[in-house]
Structure 1
Amino acid sequence: MKKLTILVFLLGLSIHLYAQLAKMSIVGKPEKSESEIIGRRDVNGRFCAAIKVLSDMEGFTYDAYNGVVGDVEHQAGMDIVYLQPDERVLQIFHTGYEPLKIILSEVGIRLKPKEMWVIRIKGAPKKADMLPVSIVVKPQDASVFIDGKDAGKGPTYNLTPGKHQLRITKAHYKSVAREITVDEKHVLFNFTLEEQEDIPVQIEGEPSGATVYIDGLEFGTTPLAGFYPPGQYTLRIEKKGYLPLEEKIRIAEPAFRKNYRLQENVGFLTINTDPKAKVYINDKLVTGRKRIKLPPMIARVKVVLPKADVLEKQVAIKKDETLTLDMYPKVPTGTVRVAVVPFDAKVELKGDAGEYFSATGLKVFKNIPIGRYQLIVSRNGYQQASETFTLTQGQKLSKTIKLKKPSPGASKTAAAVSGAKKAPAKAEPAGDMVLIHGGTFQMGDVFNEGFAAEKPVHSVTVNDFYMGVHEVTQKEWTAIMGFNPSKYKDPNSPVEWISWFDAVEFCNLKSKKEGLTPCYTFSGPDVICNFDANGYRLPTEAEWEYAAREGGRRVRFGNGQDVADPAQINFNGNANSTAKYFKPGDYRRMPWPVGSFKPNALGLYDMSGNVWEWCWDWYSDNYYQKGESDNPRGPKTGNFKAIRGGSFSDGPEDIRCTNRIYSKPSLKSNGIGFRLVRTR
């Protein structure tokens, strides 16, 4: 019993002492620092986030649910606390104060790697040092401000001994503003306000929409008109992007009027670069290049040009200063020599990123961008010749083209002469397509690191087929369909926001337009594919994976590499992934123009990332356990269609060549497109 009594006493004493502790609190709203970048990493190699704590108090200690990363940086009036980017709670401790537990999401903080947030902490006076002070005011509903802060209605307030600034206000009464001295003998104060009329106030100027504060209290946004008690005040006018204006004013009869002009708080940045390049400042696309207005900040400038390495610079923008950057991405080049007969034939080169070169007769095209090209040679009275090829960095290609004259009666087909039906034409490479030589390969999770649907690894054989070197672009889609449904508009970027049914319809319409036999027929809600037709169609899962893996090689990603690098693939380089086979980096947040990155060994671009690609097959998790081994085409029925390759918003696990996921065939998404194949 005696022990129990002691325990109860100690518990009561601890509760009593805890109740005597003063409280700490956050002042104002947390703000994200745009000018500071965090370089510290946690034990897993991830970039940290940070919180900068500003306070007049010293001696804070800190804790978090996942622990503080490394040592806290203590400086005069400021601490920097490093946290993991998925941290949810920060606790702050100080002798004589209750612990302050901050749930980050509740105060508007969303931590991200490399980013810093700023908070301000204040501590209330310790209760043991305070005196109960009575401030009796008439009228009783007047507002009482002590040391610039709303003290509530009272009439009793806990104040520390010493001097305090007291202000009492009420509409239509003269305000009282004076200094009071509090000690054990002076704890009662009486005030009676005198009635008076408020003074008309009018404030306007440039720019409009500025916020007006009178003695730190928000009064409204300009242009504004209202009434305010007469007196001496501090007026502050501020707006984002401008230097604040602050001055002492006197509001008195008959009226107060103020006209202002704020000075822009900006510097200027000029970026000299290739006209075809895209320019990003702090990951936001900008259209202007000359004298871009920016607030003082650390700006990350990125210049992106198809086929060139991304250029990045970090610069400091200062008020009223003009900074000029020369950022010309260097596109890898090669040389093509073309000899033609007849000697005056017209030569044209059309590149996969919109390049166009032409000449008459023999020509050496020096230092032209690498990539996929279509060579067209023509002359009146001769049959036009065309071929496609891939030019790599430093390569010197030689092409000799001899045009043929059309044979007599060539316009008449054998079918027209005999009256018999014309046999289906053998498919030949059309436009930007390459021949994929068939073969047998081990399909599935050859690295033993994927998901269950990628297993078991099994032997599959596919026949020869032609595949588009690019995903179908918005320009190509619009030329056939007459409209562009994409959310991210760019003629050279892949078309998206199209369903599986939309893709099938496109294949048939393009086939008909080019005089080919459509592959697809519709029977009610069902779609039937004639794989022997010479028109355009979607790849099977087996064809897609075989091509992505460069003819079935043991490669992890569709560019032939085993490490996903954001400089080489358009995917989420900031993904919260523990995979060891990716290099953290940029997250572009949108599809990129096709051909912006290097192709794989078969000349295929963007087989990993950019947008998911519709396949023909119905999807089944366990299809690999019972599927065919010779040209498999998926289950005969299902509810979902297979999509492959991953998109710009996916992490490294999802853009692997062997990864399989699915979607309803009616679904439209800004992350799903498709690419064409033809049966050989």
Structure 2
Amino acid sequence: MPAGRFVMGDSTGDANRGDGEEPRHPVALNGFSIDATTVTNDDFARFVADTGYRTEAETFGYSAVFHLAVAARESDIMGPAAMTPWWIGVRGADWRHPGGRLSDAVDDGLGDHPVVHVNWNDAAAYADWAGRRLPSEAEWEYAARGGLDGARYPWGDEGVDDGGWRANIWQGRFPTENTMEDGHLTTAPADAFAPNGYGLHQAVGNVWEWCRDWYSASAYTEATTTSPTGPVHGTERVLRGGSYLCHDSYCNRYRNSARSHNTPDSSMGNAGFRTVSR
């Protein structure tokens, strides 16, 4: 990634109220390297084999699985989340078993898919092992834009399905019917779709990506304009890029400027990460 400047924030009027995508503001960044894809199951398996690391989902004994992806015995199903019933707490769900104990990332041929059920703490541990770190929110957006300053998506402003599918999002009626016009119910291989102008695959869609910044809805009103790293303190970390569950009727956050957040100990079946140089 070359050093450069861009305008960070929503430029198309699509911002979700309360997410803090505004005000738009100029940002200057030094050069850095960033993974072309999100970290895959195969990548994460090498980390675990080398270190013996156990994710917090493995330690806690459960994680959140999308209801159509559950592969577990009835005794392992803890029930739906209160406000988002399409998320099911499943005992034994973790990065190796993304649907529950009856699934297996290796046996199911998911080695080249993004690792999921990794929380921010797990992602940071992997990055440290790799001699890298998680991207700042500004670095992530700069890279995702692929040199197209002000564009809605990494490829420009055309729709996700204009001229063929460009990202892995939800098609059909959320959350009960996915017509899978893009070929995927949940995750796709990390390099399944064409890269943007900087060579990044699937910066939007597929899985949310953890960033190093603490989240604040007012972060942009207080941000510095040179290599910003977000608030000094917080309770939640930033997530970027949307996921395979994004749909205009529910979540239009598969955009360059869209923001989300969660606590650093939260893991779920639609969040992963990529790393950058220290």
TM (norm. structure 2) is 0.72
Partner of 1:481: 48
1:560 is displaced (CA, Å) by 3.9
Q: Structure 2 residue aligned with 1:505, among 125, 140, 147?
A: 125
Partner of 2:170: 572
Name the SS of the counterpart of 2:212 in structure 1.
strand
Matching of residue 678 in structure 1 with residue 273 in structure 2? no
1:616/1:650 Cα in 2 relative to 1: closer, same or farther (>3 Å)? Answer: same
Count residues in correspondence.
213
CA distance in 1, matches of 2:148, 2:232: 25
1:551 is displaced (CA, Å) by 3.0
Partner of 1:368: none
- Corresponding letter in the other structure for 2:15: G
**Greater share of residues in strand:** 1
Q: Structure 2 residue aligned with 1:660, among 236, 259, 278?
A: 259
Matching of residue 491 in structure 1 with residue 111 in structure 2? yes
Name the SS of the counterpart of 1:643 in structure 2.
strand
Matching of residue 647 in structure 1 with residue 243 in structure 2? yes
1:491 is displaced (CA, Å) by 0.5
CA distance in 2, matches of 1:647, 1:601: 20
Q: Structure 2 residue aligned with 1:454, among 21, 25, 45?
A: 21
1:451 is displaced (CA, Å) by 2.1
5+ residue gaps, structure 1? 1-435, 512-535, 577-583
Over the matched positions of the two proteins, sequence identity in percent amounts to 32
Name the SS of the counterpart of 1:616 in structure 2.
strand
Does the 8 Å CA contact 1:573/1:585 hold for their aligned counterparts?
A: yes
CA distance in 1, matches of 2:35, 2:253: 22
1:650 is displaced (CA, Å) by 1.1
**Greater share of residues in helix:** 2
CA distance in 2, matches of 1:616, 1:503: 10
User: Structure 1, residues 11-53: CA drift from partner, whole Å, max 9, x if none?
Assistant: xxxxxxxxxxxxxxxxxxxxxxxxxxxxxxxxxxxxxxxxxxx
CA distance in 2, matches of 1:600, 1:486: 31
CA distance in 1, matches of 2:28, 2:202: 24
1:449 is displaced (CA, Å) by 2.1
Does the 8 Å CA contact 1:444/1:457 hold for their aligned counterparts?
A: yes
5+ residue gaps, structure 2? 55-94, 100-104, 175-179
Name the SS of the counterpart of 1:547 in structure 2.
helix
1:676/1:486 Cα in 2 relative to 1: closer, same or farther (>3 Å)? Answer: farther
CA distance in 2, matches of 1:486, 1:442: 40
CA distance in 1, matches of 2:152, 2:258: 10
Does the 8 Å CA contact 1:572/1:587 hold for their aligned counterparts?
A: no
1:456/1:505 Cα in 2 relative to 1: closer, same or farther (>3 Å)? Answer: same
CA distance in 2, matches of 1:575, 1:544: 30
User: Structure 1, residues 419-465: CA drift from partner, whole Å, max 9, x if none?
Assistant: xxxxxxxxxxxxxxxxx112111110111221241111111111101
Partner of 2:73: none
CA distance in 1, matches of 2:149, 2:37: 20
Does the 8 Å CA contact 1:469/1:604 hold for their aligned counterparts?
A: yes
- Corresponding letter in the other structure for 1:570: N
1:454/1:497 Cα in 2 relative to 1: closer, same or farther (>3 Å)? Answer: same
CA distance in 2, matches of 1:468, 1:575: 33
1:559 is displaced (CA, Å) by 3.7
Q: Which has the larger radius of gyration?
A: 1
User: Structure 1, residues 487-534: CA drift from partner, whole Å, max 9, x if none?
Assistant: 0621110000011000111111222xxxxxxxxxxxxxxxxxxxxxxx
CA distance in 2, matches of 1:539, 1:648: 21
Q: Work out which structure has the larger RCO, using CA pairs closer than 8 Å and 6 or more positions apart in sequence.
A: 2
1:554 is displaced (CA, Å) by 2.1
Matching of residue 443 in structure 1 with residue 8 in structure 2? yes
Matching of residue 616 in structure 1 with residue 212 in structure 2? yes
Name the SS of the counterpart of 2:239 in structure 1.
strand
Partner of 1:638: 234
Does the 8 Å CA contact 1:570/1:610 hold for their aligned counterparts?
A: yes
1:471/1:486 Cα in 2 relative to 1: closer, same or farther (>3 Å)? Answer: farther
1:555 is displaced (CA, Å) by 1.6
1:550 is displaced (CA, Å) by 1.1
Name the SS of the counterpart of 2:130 in structure 1.
helix
Does the 8 Å CA contact 2:147/2:197 hold for their aligned counterparts?
A: no
1:574 is displaced (CA, Å) by 2.1
1:560/1:603 Cα in 2 relative to 1: closer, same or farther (>3 Å)? Answer: farther
